[in-house]
Amino acid sequence: MDSSPIDLRLLNDYQRNFPLTARPFAAIADELGTSEAEVIERFAALRAEGKLARIGPVIRPHAVGASTLAAMAVPPDEVEAIATLIAARAEVNHCYEREHPVNLWFVVTAADETAVNAVLTAIELHTGRKVIDLPLLAAYHIDLGFPL
């Protein structure tokens, strides 16, 4: 990875324990000996370079609202169009293709189970494809942070 020392610190040190303050970028700047503006600028650049997807919390499933993993079998020539339609929904927090007959997967999050089911139904109506609902049966903690 070709990154500056500050970029490496931003990517490595704040995968966990991101400051929960009114001005988290200022707190990070204080820790790194730089300015709040530079921290914000560097995070924006890292995102633009594809080295950072998002800054935000990871919330335990069903701690707030309801969610489900869903999947669809989509012909290869329709995957991009249907994935774009699904990913555009505010309730979908990620959508991805897998190499399998059931090839399009996504997570729907909403206020409650009724709202989640309404989203799944709407996706079926708009795509003309059956949605397979794969609700969480048992939760496992997988730490997705790793040292760079």
- Give the domain CATH number at 115: 3.30.70.3460
In a domain, 61, yes or no: no
Residues near 148 by Cβ (< 8 Å), separated by ≥ 6?
1, 8, 11, 12
Q: What is the pLDDT along the chain (148 residues), one digit of tens a residue?
A: 566 889 999 999 998 889 999 999 999 999 999 999 999 999 999 999 988 888 887 777 777 899 999 999 999 999 999 999 999 999 998 899 999 999 999 999 999 999 999 999 999 999 999 999 999 888 887 777 777 7
In this prediction, residue 105 carries a pLDDT of 98
From first CA to last CA, the distance across the chain in angstroms is 8
**Shared-domain flag, residues 98 and 41:** no
Domains held by the chain: number: 2
- Domain range enclosing 124: 66-134
Token pair in block for residue 95: 């959508």
In this prediction, residue 80 carries a pLDDT of 96
Q: Which helix (H) or strand (E) holds 133?
A: strand 132-134
In this prediction, residue 4 carries a pLDDT of 86
Smallest CA-to-CA distance from 29 within 2, 4, 10 is with 10
**Shared-domain flag, residues 22 and 71:** no
**Shared-domain flag, residues 72 and 41:** no
